[in-house]
Structure 1
Amino acid sequence: MIQDVLNRYILQSAQEVQFRLGHKTSFKKNREWIEADTESLSLSEWEDLKDLCLRPDEKMFLETKGYIRGIFSDQKNTWIFSFVEWKENLKAYFSYVSKATNINNIQNPAYLEALKNKNGIHIVSGFKQSGKSTLIRELVEDLKINSPQQIVLHSDPSILTRQLDETVFQLGADTLSWETTHPFYDGVDVVIVDMNDVSHWEKWIQFAEEGKKVFITMAANSVENVLLQVRSHLSGEKDNPLWQRFVRQLSSILNQKIVGLAEGSVHEILVLKA
Structure 2
Amino acid sequence: MTFRTRFAPSPTGPLHLGHAYSAILAHDMAVAAGGDFLLRMEDTDMQRSKPEWEALILEDLAWLGLAWKGPVLRQSDRLESYEPALDDLRRMGLLYPCSCSRKDIRAAAAAPQEGAMPDVYPGTCKHRDMASWRPGDALRLHMDRALTVFGDDLPGFSETGTKHAGYHRVSADHALSRIGDVVLFRKDDGIIAYFLASALDDVAQDISHVVRGEDLFDFTPIQVLLLSLLGLPVPAYHHHGLIRDGNGRRLAKRDDARAISLFRADGKTPQDIRSMIGL
Q: Specify the TM-score bucket, using the shorter chain as the normaliser.
A: under 0.3
Give me the TM-score of the superposition, normalised by structure 1. Answer: 0.24
Give me the TM-score of the superposition, normalised by structure 2. Answer: 0.24
Larger Rg computed on CA atoms: 1
